Amino acid sequence: YPLFQRGGPQLRIFRPNFFMLAVRPGVPQPEDTVQFRVSMEMTKVDIRNYLERIYNVPVAAVRTRIQYGANNKRNHKNQREKKPDYKVAYVQLGQGQTFQFPNLFPEKEQDTETRSFDDFRSKYMEKEKQKQEGDPRRGGVPDWFGL
Amino acid sequence: MAALGARGLLRPGRRWFSQTEPTAPSPASGPLYPPVVASLTAKSKAAQQRRRELFKQQVHEAGTVEEKLRLYGKLQRPKYMVYPQTFALNADRWYRSFTNTVFVPGMPPVAAAAGAAPEAGGAPAVGAPGAATSPGAATDSGAAINPEPAAGALPPLDMGELRSLACDALLQESFYQNKKRPFLYRDQEHTPGPFLTQLVSTLAAFLSGRNPLLAASSLDLKPEVNYYWQHGEEVVAHGHRKGRVDPVRFQIDDKPHLQIRVPKQLPEVVPLDSNLGDVPVINHKPSKLPLFKKQYENKVYIGSKVADPCCYGHTQFHLIPDRLKRERLIKARLEDQIEVVYRSNGIASLFAWTAAQAMYQGFWSEADVTRPFVSQAVVTDGKYFAFFCYQLNTLALTAETLKNNPRKNICWGTESKPLYDVVEDGNVKDFNDEVLLHLVRFLLNRPKEL
């Protein structure tokens, strides 16, 4: 890049690794608060601009913290394995909007085929278990025990 | 030794009484054995309950109010610091849930009617204020609704004079006086602060002739008001006390700009057990507001110590700081939070003040108030004024006492209205008389006996 002097054109382009991942909060959050995992280099101002300009989401307040990833687990060579650190952002939406993290794995309604197959499978497992057990009249005593 | 030996041989099987004749055993004057109660030091729920009962008994039996306050705030644990002037979003809803308060927009009707009586004489003659000038009003002191008896003998309030007082104070601070430019983020203490002090002190002095309570009052400059309370329960998350159920502790440390304390209490606005609305229930932890915990002295203070004769509150004046100014909130596109700032300031400050006044009279969460405590507040940023009136009906906010407590505290509040539009060339444009009248009504508020 040519040497930059005051008043000259700014020719460098910076492309930081800015990403935001909406996550389900571990602890219940108020209705207007959304929890994100963001890149470690993003600041509160960056997060606000990102949401407002790219996604047109009105942002009232942003609070961030850095979660330290633990370093206690050890691998087969007894070396410590570090879980990566990440930054968490709590964004309060403006204009009275609310957000509830959706249920990504809803229980699907089973059709008759799957239901009857499940019934058949459970009955089969019960029969197998009963075959494994011995005579109920022996009261749980194994059949090799005896004279 | 010989006597002992002789006694043993004397008459075995018979008791040796000091008196000669064996009489029937006297009836038991009291229980022979001490009562069977749980231990005090064991690690059991019964022992914990007994320790709590012992603490409550000690506070009940404390001789002086200072001793009660000392025992009440003796145990220090991490507590949430509640700031009346906060940037947190929708803080007034959270504060209402912490203090068990109902917010009613507008002013209470009794205060409006009582204030309508000493109306401006400068305004064209209206029927009701016209009666204030009649000397006959002085005779009907028995009428409860008619508050003019004291004012009936005085001339009606001159709106022009009050307006000139207010404009004088405003012009002196902002126009006539040569001040240097304010330092960065110190605008509020440069002009609106001194203006408010000047306005309140001149108005209070002017109106003390009409209101004998003001004449006996005490005006504090930048006093401190503190209150410590517990509300509800939570499970401790981290630390050596993890898993235990603890009360949620709060502390308010407030520094109003001005405060008027009086020796007699303001009258109640509505009866003690009235229900004017609902208290918001928030099931999240207060730390989500955001609110932060710290451990320090549990202070309960109204602005003066217990022995001061002016132990009841009349009016507080709050100045909004620079970081919560209207312009900053509008620039950050948080226009709906402007009123929230005023409301949260009014609710939190007034709750702390009235509750501390109640504690100074010996009430606390186990000994609930028997009469409501009423105080007023004006929250301003120099130009916009918002008026609040608070009635404290209950102090019982701990988990056990809150379960069966039907009483709620009530806060009336107005929206913020401008007092003037702009100050130019020695003139105050668009002076708003209503706001000034409201302020005068607040200052003239007094108990019915006076």
Look-up: residue for tokens 């006694």? B7
Q: Lowest-pLDDT range, B96-110, B291-305, B313-327?
A: B96-110
Contact criterion met (CB < 8 Å) for A61 and B336: no
Helix/strand number for chain A, H first, E second: 2, 6
The answer to whether residues B393 and B270 touch, using CB atoms and an 8 Å cutoff, is no
Using DSSP, state whether A47 is helix, strand or coil: helix
| pLDDT at residue A30 greater than cutoff 90 | yes
Tokens of A37: 């995992």
Any idea what the Cα angle at residue B333 is, between residues B330 and B336, rounded to 5°? 80
Band (pLDDT 50/70/90 cuts) for residue B145 is: very low
pTM: 0.83
pLDDT of residue B444: 92
Of A28, A60, A95, the CB nearest to B284: A28
Distance from C-alpha of B432 to C-alpha of B265, rounded to nearest angstrom:
30
Average pLDDT rounded to a whole number, residues B178-183: 92
**Whole-angstrom distance, CA of residue A134 vs CA of residue B64:** 79
What residues contact B284, with CB distance under 8 A and at least 6 apart? A28, A29, A30
Q: Which residues contact A13 (CB under 8 A, 6 or more apart)?
A: none
Check whether B4 has a pLDDT greater than 80.
no
Q: Does A8 touch chain B (CB under 8 A)?
A: no
Beta-carbon contacts of B200 under 8 Å, excluding residues fewer than 6 positions away, are B219, B258, B260, B317
Contact B284 A32 (CB under 8 A): no
Q: Which residues contact B206 (CB under 8 A, 6 or more apart)?
A: B161, B162, B165
Structure tokens at B350: 């007034």
CB contact under 8 A, B336 and A63: no
Section B272-301 average pLDDT: 94
Q: Cβ(B190)–Cβ(B274) under 8 Å?
A: no
Query: Is the domain defined by A20-93 classed in CATH 3.30.830.10?
Result: no
Domain range list for chain B: 47-75, 77-110+158-444
Q: Are B219 and B191 in contact (CB under 8 A)?
A: no
Measured in whole angstroms, the distance separating CA B262 from the mean position of its chain's CA atoms is 14
Which structure tokens are listed for B213?
């309570």
Residues near B106 by beta carbon (within 8 Å), at least 6 away in sequence: B412, B414
- Compute the average pLDDT of residues B165-194: 92
Residues in CB range of B281: below 8 A, 6 or more apart: B97
Cβ of A96 within 8 Å of Cβ of B336? The answer is yes
CA-nearest residue to A33 within chain B is B288
- On whether the CB atoms of residues A19 and A40 are closer than 8 A, the answer is no
Taking the CA of residue B90 and the nearest CA in chain A, the distance in Å comes to 10
**Mean pLDDT score of chain B:** 86
Cis check for the bond before B290: say yes or no (omega within 30 of 0).
yes
Average pLDDT over residues B154-170: 89
Q: Which of A30, A58, A60 sits opposite B288 (nearest CB)?
A: A30
Chain B residues within 8 A of A92 when measuring between CB atoms: 89
- What confidence tens digit (pLDDT) does each residue in A56-105 have? 999 999 999 999 999 999 999 999 999 999 999 999 999 999 999 999 99
Percent share of chain A, pLDDT over 70: 100
Contacts of A27 in chain B (CB under 8 A): 285
3-state secondary structure chain B: CHHHHHHHHHCCCCCCCCCCCCCCCCCCCCCCCCCCCCCCCCCCHHHHHHHHHHHHHHHHCCCCHHHHHHHHCCCCCCEEEECCCCCCCCHHHHHHHHHCEEEEEECCHHHHHHHHCCCECCCCCCHHHHHHHCHHHHCCCCCCCCCCHHHHCCCCECHHHHHHHHHHHHHHHHHHCCCCCCCCCCCCCCCHHHHHHHHHHHHHHHHCCCCHHHHCCEEEECCCEEEEEEEEEEECCCCCCCCCEEEEEEEEEECCCEEEEECCCCCCCCCCCCCCCCCCCCCCCHHHCCCCEECCCCCCECCCCCCCCCCEEEEEEEECCHHHCHHHHHHCCCCCHHHHHHHHHHHHHHHHHHHHHHHHCCCCCCCCCCCCEEEEEEEECCCEEEEEEEEECCCCCCHHHHHCCCCCEEEEECCCEECCCEEECCEEECCCHHHHHHHHHHHHCCCCCC
Q: Contact B333/A28, CB-based, under 8 Å?
A: no
Residue of A nearest to B283 (CA): A30
Report residue B298's pLDDT band, with 50, 70 and 90 as the boundaries. Answer: very high
Contacts of A65 in chain B (CB under 8 A): none
Domain ranges of chain A: 20-93
A28 contacts on B by Cβ (under 8 Å): 283-284
For chains A and B, CB pairs below 8 A equal: 22
DSSP A137: G
Task: Among A27, A28, A92, select the one facing B89 at the smallest CB separation.
Answer: A92
End-to-end CA distance of chain B: 83
Q: Chain B residue with minimal CA distance to A92?
A: B89
- Distance from C-alpha of B326 to C-alpha of A63, rounded to nearest angstrom: 22
CA distance A30 to chain B (A): 7
* DSSP structure class, residue A109: P
CA distance B284 to chain A (A): 7
Beta carbons of A94 and B288 less than 8 Å apart: no
In angstroms, the separation between the Cα of residue B282 and the nearest Cα of chain A is 9
Q: Do residues B335 and B329 make contact, with C-beta atoms less than 8 angstroms apart?
A: yes
Angle between helices B159-171 and B433-444 (to 10 degrees): 100
Nearest Cα of chain A lies from the Cα of B128 at a distance, in angstroms, of 45
Q: Taking CB atoms and an 8 Å limit, are A30 and B284 in contact across chains? A: yes
Which residue of A92, A93, A97, A98 to mutate against B (max B Cβ within 10 Å)? A92
pLDDT confidence bin for B156, thresholds 50/70/90: confident
CA distance A53 to chain B (A): 15
DSSP conformation class of A60:
E
Cβ separation B288–A33 shorter than 8 A: yes
A63/B290 CB distance under 8 A:
yes
B71 — pLDDT class (breaks 50, 70, 90): very high
Backbone dihedral region of A139: left (phi > 0), alpha (psi from -120 to 50 degrees) or beta? Answer: left
The pLDDT of residue B122 is above 60 = no
Residue B103: band (very low, low, confident or very high) from pLDDT cuts 50, 70, 90? very high
Please give the C-alpha separations between residue B27 and each of B17, B18, B19, B405, B448, in angstroms, as whole numbers. 17, 19, 18, 46, 60
B195 closest CA partner among B212, B211, B176, B223: B176
The amino acid that residue B10 corresponds to is: L
Lowest mean pLDDT segment, chosen from A121-125, B61-65, B141-145: B141-145
Question: Of chain A residues 19-78, which have a CB less than 8 A from chain B?
Answer: 27-30, 32-33, 58, 60-61, 63
Q: SS3 for A22?
A: strand
Task: Please give the C-alpha separations between residue A10 and each of A2, B129, B224, B329, B443, in angstroms, as whole numbers.
Answer: 10, 73, 54, 33, 62
Q: How many CB atoms lie within 10 A of CB B389?
A: 25
